Amino acid sequence: MHDRELYRQILGIQAPWEVSEVEVGLPATGVTVHIQHSGEGLACPECGANCPGLI
Protein backbone atom coordinates (compact mmCIF):
# COMPACT_ATOMS: atom_id res chain seq x y z
CA MET A 1 0.00 0.00 0.00
CA HIS A 2 1.31 3.46 -0.86
CA ASP A 3 1.75 6.00 1.93
CA ARG A 4 -0.90 8.37 0.50
CA GLU A 5 -3.50 5.59 0.44
CA LEU A 6 -2.55 4.50 3.95
CA TYR A 7 -2.98 8.02 5.37
CA ARG A 8 -6.21 8.50 3.40
CA GLN A 9 -7.63 5.46 5.17
CA ILE A 10 -6.21 6.37 8.59
CA LEU A 11 -7.64 9.92 8.42
CA GLY A 12 -10.91 8.93 6.72
CA ILE A 13 -10.34 11.27 3.77
CA GLN A 14 -13.05 10.82 1.12
CA ALA A 15 -13.64 12.19 -2.38
CA PRO A 16 -13.60 14.93 -3.48
CA TRP A 17 -10.68 15.33 -1.02
CA GLU A 18 -7.44 13.40 -1.47
CA VAL A 19 -4.05 13.04 0.19
CA SER A 20 -1.63 14.75 -2.18
CA GLU A 21 1.64 14.32 -0.30
CA VAL A 22 3.05 12.74 2.84
CA GLU A 23 6.31 14.00 4.37
CA VAL A 24 7.98 11.92 7.07
CA GLY A 25 10.55 13.82 9.12
CA LEU A 26 13.40 11.60 10.24
CA PRO A 27 14.57 10.85 12.78
CA ALA A 28 11.13 10.84 14.38
CA THR A 29 10.33 14.54 14.01
CA GLY A 30 6.80 14.02 12.72
CA VAL A 31 4.59 13.36 9.73
CA THR A 32 3.02 16.08 7.57
CA VAL A 33 0.03 15.04 5.45
CA HIS A 34 -1.11 17.40 2.69
CA ILE A 35 -4.68 17.15 1.41
CA GLN A 36 -6.32 18.83 -1.55
CA HIS A 37 -9.76 19.13 -3.10
CA SER A 38 -10.28 17.78 -6.61
CA GLY A 39 -12.05 21.01 -7.59
CA GLU A 40 -15.26 19.18 -8.48
CA GLY A 41 -18.45 20.42 -6.92
CA LEU A 42 -17.06 23.72 -5.64
CA ALA A 43 -19.43 26.66 -5.75
CA CYS A 44 -19.01 30.37 -5.09
CA PRO A 45 -20.49 31.12 -1.65
CA GLU A 46 -21.92 34.42 -2.92
CA CYS A 47 -23.46 33.66 -6.33
CA GLY A 48 -23.51 29.86 -6.42
CA ALA A 49 -21.56 29.66 -9.71
CA ASN A 50 -19.33 26.62 -10.21
CA CYS A 51 -15.67 27.30 -9.40
CA PRO A 52 -12.70 25.27 -10.65
CA GLY A 53 -10.79 25.56 -7.38
CA LEU A 54 -7.02 25.59 -7.09
CA ILE A 55 -5.15 22.31 -7.38
pLDDT tens, N- to C-terminus, the chain (55 residues): 588 999 999 999 988 889 999 998 888 789 999 998 876 777 888 888 887 765 4
Cα distance between residue 41 and residue 9, in whole Å: 22
Cis check for the bond before 27: say yes or no (omega within 30 of 0): yes
Helix (H) or strand (E) holding 7: helix 3-11
Q: If we measure between CA atoms, which residue out of 12, 2, 1 comes closest to residue 35?
A: 12
Reported pTM:
0.65
Amino acid 55: pLDDT: 40
Amino acid 10: pLDDT: 94
